[in-house]
Structure formats: C-alpha cells, structure tokens
Amino acid sequence: MSKPTSGRIAYVNARLLDPATNLDVMGGLLTEGEVITDFGEGYAKADGQYGDADIVDCQGACLTPGLVDIRVQLREPGEEHKGTLKSAGEAATSSGVTSMVCLPNTQPVTDDMSVVEFVARRARLLGLTKVYPYGAITKGLQGTDMAEMGMLSESGAVAFTDGVRAVASAKVMRKALAYAKNHDLLLVQHPEEPSLAEGGHMNAGALAARMGLSGIPKVAETIMVARDVRLAEDTGGRLHFAHISTAESIDIIRRAKERGVRVTCDTAPPYFSLNELAVGEYRTFAKLSPPLRDEEDRRAIIEGLKDGTIDIIASDHAPEDEDSKRLPFAQAAFGGVGLETLLAITLELYHNKHMSLLDCLRTVTCNPADIIGLSAGRLAVGAAADLCIFDPDRGWKIDADQLASKSKNSPFDGRLAQGRCLRTVIDGRTVFTLEQ
C-alpha cells in the first residue's frame, strides 16, 4: 500500500468492519482532511473514479475503526526511563490503537488540572495516538480524601480511578460513587483488597506453594468486586472494574448486570491467553497485577467475553525498566507492556473460534469508546478518520527486543501470533505503516 499525499484519500478493496453497526462488507472508504466523508460497498480501484483523491489499495485487508485502549500507563511525567508519551504513541500506532486513556499514577499524580492539561497538550504536539487522561478519585491516590473530580472533569479527565491502587475504604468509595452519580462521572476500580494482596507475588495455590512464593488469593479480587457492586447499587453511581481475572468476579458482575446495576468491566489479553503456568521458571515478565490465574479462571474469562459480561479488552500496558524486572521474582515489579500485542492477542479469540471477528473488534473499538464517552470506535460520515487496516491472518513472532515500547517487559515474548496491523490513520494522517 502506497503512502497517500493529498487531502482526499480513497481506501479501496477493503473488508469494511464496523462493530457498532455490524457492518462486514467488501468496499472502501473516503476521507477528506481529518474526517470520513463516505464509505460502503463497491469501492474498487478505477482510474478517475475518485477525482483527485489519492488511492490506497487495501488488497483485501480489513479496515476497521481505530482501536480504543482504556488502560495505559504512560510513565510521563515522572518516570520517563520506563516510558514516554512518544514511545507509548509509537507502540500504540503499530497495533492500530488510535485512542488511549492513561492512568493517573504519574509523578505528579493526575489529581490536579495542570497535569491533565499537560498530558493533553503534550499528546497533541506529538501527533500520534490520541491520549485522554483519567483523573484520580482520591488526592495523591492515597485513598482518603476525594480529589476535585468535578474540576478535573471540566479540564478534560474522561473518568476517574486510583490507577493500580484500589480505593480500599468502603466509606470513601461510597462517597465517591454518590458524587459521581450526581455529576454523571464514571469511576474505575482496581479490584484488589490491599490487605489480602499485600506481600503476594503470584496466584495463590499449589503452584505458588511449590515455587516457594507468597500467593495473592482470588478472594482479594472477588471481595472487592462484591463490595463495590453493592455500593454502586446503593448509590446509583456508574462503576467499571479493571482487568477482571477470576471466574467468581465474572459471576458477581453478571448477576449485577441482570439486576440493572450500572456496572461494566474489562479484562486484558494475558487473562484469556495465559495462565499461572506462564510464570514458569520464575519468569518475571509474567508477573502481573492482578496475577495470572489458573486454567479454570482463564476459560471463565473467555466465557465472560463471549456472553458480553466482560465489555472491553484493554492492553493494561505497564512498562517497567530492565532493572525492575531482572530481579528475583519476589523483588521484581508487577506489570507487562501490551499496546503492541493488543490486536494480535485479541484476534486469538477469533482464530480459536471463541468469538466472531466483529465481536472481537467490538471489545476494542465501540465498547470502550461508549463506556468512557469518547467520539471514537466507529465508522461514520463526519467522524474522525481514525482507522486501522490489518491482516487478520498474517503470522509473526512477538520479539520483546523489537517492540517500540521503551520498556520491553512483554509476557508474550517469543509467542507466535496471527494478525498484524498494516496501517494506522489518525485524523486522516497515516502515522504507521508496516515495513514489508
């Protein structure tokens, strides 16, 4: 595919996929400047058919709305040795991610309007993936005093979370949910009861015992999910649970949705594609938070995605530098990079016949956009020309050393994958093309 040069671009011979409308046809799409001006069936390459538009022949590849990733740790400001807005943007665009929402656990914490504005301004200057900041629920992420969520929302925060920390106090969480209800805000919880998780390094169970490692019990997650579902039900606030990893949590959320509680959730690729055995010989790249669970939980995550209980797949991108990971397992940091593998690992659900291609893409396009409240994730005339063109069958081997992320701590290092982004377009500009 050639690189376009003019302001009008025709993407032809594409398999158009729009999960928001269940569109799946061979056709094409026209853009002018930053927006989509037309799309549909029957767009084939033909001289003169599109006037002065540049032609991009997709050669049968899939064209879908750009991916929306709602859980990314950027590390900037404050920990630029682990990652930056630029390195995260380059990693995101290589996987077709055109919008991402960043956690507030930066230095300083995103509990102040100036930090929200800094992130937004810096991202605009880079011109890569669009970045939207979360605001903190509590000041300094300390879990005690509520941050100025109303003012942060006015400054551009799209939702609120304490990042990789749970709001442990039921009283504070109830107060925050009640405030969120009155101001139509969304709260995102890291569901892990701190006192139960403290000192743990992997999933509690027989494997942890054999490896001589302290475990994090499943109940650390489920007890927090159960508590916060009740608080959301009591207050009427909107609540989203991040990176769900256990079968019991899915059951609790499924029943809550049936009762009409305003609750949603996401998971991350490691939790449906890996289990605790990936820790192997103390493999620190597989030390994640929450920890990889057992095979029963992995299968339950897939079922939760299939029946729609789990709304979103997010990368849970958490870059850690080499010094933080190449340590004895108990001392190593939690977290794995995930932006560049988000598309390929999500497509495993399609290749393994768990979900249709549209259903897979729904979890990374319109669902996250709708829940967070972003104008993204769908093909529509007049919408921003944020596009991902990919080959779902293209095979490749994930090599952590070749990733664009500044940190290389991928739990999928060495894994064979199927599905590759060929081109990423943001506001009508090609920002990534795969080297042939």
Give the catalytic positions in this structure: 316
d(CA 130, CA 361): 19
Contact 359, 352 (CB under 8 A): no
Give the pair of three-digit tokens for residue 73: 């740790």
d(CA 90, CA 71): 16
In the block, tokens 């016949």 appear at 353
DSSP string, 84-126: -HHHHHHHHHTTTEEEEEE-S-SSS-S-SHHHHHHHHHHHHHH
Q: DSSP 3-state assignment of 302?
A: helix
Q: Are strands 416-426 and 429-433 parallel, antiparallel or unpaired?
A: antiparallel
Q: What kind and span of H or E run contains 228? A: helix 219-235
Contact 110, 119 (CB under 8 A): yes
Contact 155, 147 (CB under 8 A): no
- Indicate the length of the chain as a whole number: 436
Contact 228, 275 (CB under 8 A): no
Classify residue 127 by its DSSP letter: T
DSSP string, 150-209: HHHHHHT--SEE-TTS----HHHHHHHHHHHHHHT-EEEE----HHHHTT--EE-SHHHH
d(CA 169, CA 166): 9
Contact 33, 7 (CB under 8 A): yes
CA dihedral defined by 327, 330, 333, 336, rounded to 10 degrees? 90
The residue among 279, 338, 278, 381 whose CA lies nearest residue 70 is 338
d(CA 250, CA 231): 17
Classify residue 111 by its DSSP letter: -
Cis omega (within 30 of 0) on the bond before 392?
Answer: no
Classify residue 125 by its DSSP letter: H
In the block, tokens 């998780």 appear at 197
